[in-house]
């Protein structure tokens, strides 16, 4: 099911870092952040801020909220101002109705509103899953606001579209996304089930996720798929027509991800104007920043040091 890649970039030899204990309790990070809001044409976007230094905007995926970045925030806060979003529809951000409210062009303006709310003109952009889709799109359409780009388990959207158009394994494994596009898909989404899946047996983390998902909109979560996930015939749409990304890119991909297969990573350089560092992680699945937090955080720090 997983395709072999011939270009695996190892972090070994790139840096020497003494790994700290990153596994802090979620509530410890929650006690350290400031809670702020940005406005995008009347929609309030909540974000949690921690640290000091150049601005880094962090964008979660489905199903999640700002807290997904807890390990990275704790590790990077000495050197960066970290602004972790609740994307619209989730947790403390507004939940506008209508599929059109979740179009990628709207979502990237949410990110821009956070950057402006922090008094900056640009930022380092980080995204996972749907947050990765937003991040790729933001970097492509707003190069002047993107300093560097860091992606976790979301192949470049044009690579994903290419693989879907082959009607092979990626198309088959994306049936869940086509199901999510159905009008009533949100009726099968329950906060308790989502929280249990994300907690991985940790009851404190489960409680935090349950609180966030209980005040989130399941319909909004599904609108990300309805508005943006590529559809047959796969030759048009925001993802298929994405402009070339100008910023340097660091990309992580857990090779056990069954929703987003690594074949879509092939030829990513064709869509990029600057350097691309790919770190594939055998043994990790869709959540490398949870499953390999030390590795991900230390690689981020080392790579960012090279691009100052």
> At 277, which CATH number?
3.40.50.1820
Distance CA 139, CA 250 (A): 13
Domain interval for residue 100: 26-306
pLDDT on residue 20: 34
pLDDT band per the 50, 70, 90 thresholds, residue 235: confident
Angstrom distances, CA of residue 276 to CA of 73, 90, 201, 279:
23, 31, 35, 10
pLDDT tens-place string over residues 20-34:
333 344 448 999 999
Domains held by the chain: number = 1
pLDDT of 96 strictly over 70: yes
Active site residues: 129, 225, 286
pLDDT tens string 190-202: 999 999 999 989 9
In SS3 terms, 266-291 reads as CCHHHHECCCEEEEEECCCCCCHHHH
Residue 141 lies in a domain: yes
pTM (2 d.p.): 0.91
Is the residue at 14 inside a domain? no
Q: 3-state class of 7 per DSSP?
A: coil
Q: Tell me which residue has tokens 């970097």.
A: 139
CA 305 to chain centre: 21
Angle in degrees, 0-180, between the axes of helices 203-214 and 191-199, rounded to the nearest 10: 150
In a domain, 271, yes or no: yes
Average pLDDT over residues 35-55: 98
Q: Provide the pLDDT for residue 307.
A: 87
User: Mean pLDDT over residues 164-171, rounded?
Assistant: 97
Burial of 211 (0-12, 13-18, 19+ CB in 10 A): middle
What do you get for the CA distance between the two ends of the chain, in Å?
A: 38
Distances (CA, A) of 145 to 125, 132, 138, 148, 158: 9, 16, 8, 9, 21
H helix or E strand, kind and range, residue 82: strand 81-85
pLDDT level of residue 4 (50, 70, 90 thresholds): very low
Q: What is the mean pLDDT of residues 173-182?
A: 98
Tell me whether residue 20 is in a domain.
no
How far is it, in rounded angstroms, from Cα 195 to Cα 215?
A: 12
8: in domain: no
Q: pLDDT tens-digit profile of 60-75?
A: 999 999 999 999 999 9
């Amino acid at each position: 099911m997983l395709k072999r890649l011939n270009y695996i970039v190892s972090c070994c030899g790139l840096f020497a870092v003494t790994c700290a204990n990153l596994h802090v309790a979620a509530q410890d990070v929650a006690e350290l952040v400031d809670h702020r809001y940005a406005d995008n044409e009347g929609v309030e976007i909540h974000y949690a801020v921690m640290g000091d230094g150049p601005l880094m905007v962090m964008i979660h995926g489905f199903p999640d909220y700002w807290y997904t970045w807890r390990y990275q925030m704790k590790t990077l806060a000495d050197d960066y101002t970290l602004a972790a979003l609740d994307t619209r529809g989730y947790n403390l951000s507004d939940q506008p109705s209508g599929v059109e409210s979740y179009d990628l062009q709207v979502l990237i303006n949410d990110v821009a509103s956070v950057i402006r709310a922090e008094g900056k003109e640009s930022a380092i952009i980080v995204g996972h899953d749907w947050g990765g889709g937003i991040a790729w799109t933001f970097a492509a359409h707003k190069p002047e606001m993107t300093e560097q780009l860091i992606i976790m388990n979301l192949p470049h959207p044009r690579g994903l579209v290419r693989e879907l158009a082959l009607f092979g394994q990626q198309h088959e494994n994306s049936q869940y996304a086509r199901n999510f596009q159905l009008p009533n898909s949100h009726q099968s989404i329950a906060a308790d089930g989502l929280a249990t899946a994300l907690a991985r047996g940790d009851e404190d983390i489960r409680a935090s996720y349950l609180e966030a998902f209980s005040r989130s909109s399941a319909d909004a979560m599904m609108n990300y798929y309805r508005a943006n996930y590529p559809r047959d015939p796969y030759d048009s749409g925001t993802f298929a027509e994405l402009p070339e990304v100008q910023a340097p890119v660091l990309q992580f991909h857990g090779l056990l991800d069954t929703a987003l297969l690594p074949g879509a990573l092939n030829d990513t350089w064709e869509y990029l104007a600057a350097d691309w560092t790919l770190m594939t992680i055998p043994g990790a699945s869709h959540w490398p920043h949870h499953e390999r937090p030390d590795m991900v955080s230390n690689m981020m720090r080392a790579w960012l040091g090279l691009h100052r």
